[in-house]
Every structure is written in structure tokens, then in C-alpha cells.
Amino acid sequence: MSTGVQTTVPTVTPEARRRAPKQVRRAPGGGHMWWRYVLVAIVLVWALFPVMFLISAALNPAGTLSTSSLLPTEFSLSNLHILLNDASRPYTTWYRNSLIIGIVGALAQTFIGACAAYAFSRMRFTGRRPGLLALLLLQLFPAFLAFVALYITFAAIGDVVPTLGLNSVWGLLLVYMGGAMGANVWLLKGYFDTVPRELDEAAKVDGASHARIFFTMTLRLVMPILVTVFMLGFVGLYSEFILASIFLRDVDSQTLSVGLYSMTVGNERNRLFGQFATGALLASLPVVVLYLGAQRYLVGGLTQGSVK
């Protein structure tokens, strides 16, 4: 039975077919993306190659460089046992010194940088702009230009206060604090500028001082950049070698970087390579744990403060 309604099929002209966008035929299973997976595999192999070699050398019971291979053939913890019980190379003391320098130094640098960044961001005073430019200008000079002067200075300080002189972890920390107001101030200031000033003005109306605003409100709002600066400071101080090798000459006062380097110098390089590989793997654990625990702050802290 006919309903009386006629349906028309639209016709497509040849000109409309030519103007229509062409559909790209993709190979099943994402075949057009195969080169990206190959590239990722190459990068992973390139990055994991030294790690696999260190793991293999650490598990090698012979403990020498000449017998080490890329893939482990034998499994033994003898290198770890020797490393932790060698009185001439106090690895646990080196580990403790590095952690003290990394944690205390990073906290101090973050606090000093945050105080300076808050002042440059929120306060208006004479010399504000020249001070910022001076901090930027000082970064152009390499740090090793001051090493001789620092060595002579702290050698004289050690005659009066041995705790803050040469061969002292606290003396080395004091040197590191001299560069706390560096590039971090610019990074922190850029993030502080993203915090609305209306919050500070509202707090001032309620009778809050600059110190109270800074400690109770601003620091909580800029926590991502504080964590980022702490991470960068910890990694830099934890692995610093040049200045630590100049200041720390006694075995018991050395850090991990200096102590592990001494195991690869001269004729000991081949014999102690297994212990060196074990010590290097253990030394990387704090950095890995820190990045895994605070990685969600890293991207936001770096990007939001750099685009202001």
C-alpha cells in the first residue's frame, strides 16, 4: 500500500567529489605509526644500556672491569658486602655526608630564594630592578673563577673555627649557600607573580603583616615551584664534584661523588669496578625516589613560573 511520500536520493556531481576531503586509509593495527615505536625502542635501549651494564657489573662476583658484560651471567651480592664493610672506603659515611649536603643545602637554598623572590615580587623599593639584573649578570661568570679565593678564605676560617673550615661538610654547605640567590630567584619570582595581589591586599586589611602573608598564605599557593626548586637544588648539591673534591680531602669527610671517583683512579679501576657499580646504583636511589614522589609538581612548577 503506497503512502504517497516519495524519497529522493541526493546526487553528487563530479565537481563536488573533487572538492570533498580525501579520507586517509590507515593500515590496520596502527601500521602508519610503526616508526614512532621503533624510535621509542631505540631511545629506551640507548638510555638503559649503561644501567644494564652497571647492574651486570654489580652482580658480577669477580668484581672487575675486564670480566664485566652487558647482561649478567652470575648473581652475587659479594660486591655489596665488601663495599659496606671496607674500612678504608667508608661508603656509608659518604652516603650520610651527601644526604646532609643535599637535603640541608636544598632546603636552605629554597628558603633563601623564596624570601628574595617574595621581596622582588611583592615589594617596591629602591634598587629592585638593578638587583634583579645583577643576579642575572652574576650567572654569566663561571663558578670556578672563585675557587682559589674560596679555598684560601676557608683555610683561614678553619684555623679559627675548624667546623667551618676545609675538610668539613658544614664548611662546604656554607660555600654552597653563597650561591643560593642565583637563577632560582628568577624562577621563583615568575611563579610568585602569578599569585593575585588581591589576596595580599585582603590579608593586609585584616591586619596581616608581610611575614604572616608569606608564611601562612603565599608559601602554600606556590608549593609546586618550591618543590621544583628543592628537587633541582638537591640533585645539584647531591652530585656536585668539583668544589667537593677541592674542599674535602679526608676520607671520612668526602661525599659520594668524590669517594666513588677515588675508586676509579689509577690501578684500582679494574679491581674495584664491581664495588663502584654497586655504589653508583645505591647512590641513584634518593634521586629516583625524589623524582617519582614529586614528579606531579615538576612540570607545573617549571612551566607556570617561566611564562609570566
Q: If DSSP codes are grouped into helix, strand and coil, which group holds residue 49?
A: helix
User: Does 11 reside within a domain?
Assistant: no
Residue 112 and residue 234: Cα distance in Å, rounded? 14
Q: Which of the two residues, 39 and 63, has the higher pLDDT score?
A: 39
Mean pLDDT of all residues in 295-299: 69
Query: pLDDT by residue (tens digit) across 51-82?
Result: 888 888 888 887 777 677 777 777 888 888 88
User: What grid cell was written down for 242?
Assistant: 668539583
Tally of domains within the chain: 2
Residue 199 and residue 207: Cα distance in Å, rounded? 13
User: Does 17 reside within a domain?
Assistant: no
Q: Which of the two residues, 29 and 282, has the higher pLDDT score?
A: 282
Residue 28 and residue 43: Cα distance in Å, rounded? 25
Number of residues that this document lists for the chain: 308
Q: Which of the two residues, 90 and 306, has the higher pLDDT score?
A: 90
Are residues 70 and 179 part of one domain? Answer: no
User: Does 259 reside within a domain?
Assistant: yes
Are residues 107 and 66 part of one domain? Answer: no
Domain that holds residue 35: 30-76
Query: pLDDT by residue (tens digit) across 193-221?
Result: 888 888 888 888 888 888 888 888 888 88
Percentage above 90 pLDDT, the chain: 18
pLDDT at 183 over 60: yes
Are residues 169 and 288 part of one domain? Answer: yes
Mean pLDDT of all residues in 137-161: 85
Q: Name the pLDDT band for 237 (thresholds 50, 70, 90).
A: very high
- Mean pLDDT rounded to a whole number for the chain: 82
Q: If DSSP codes are grouped into helix, strand and coil, which group holds residue 203?
A: helix
- Regarding pTM above 0.85, the answer is no
Mean pLDDT of all residues in 153-164: 89
User: Does 13 reside within a domain?
Assistant: no
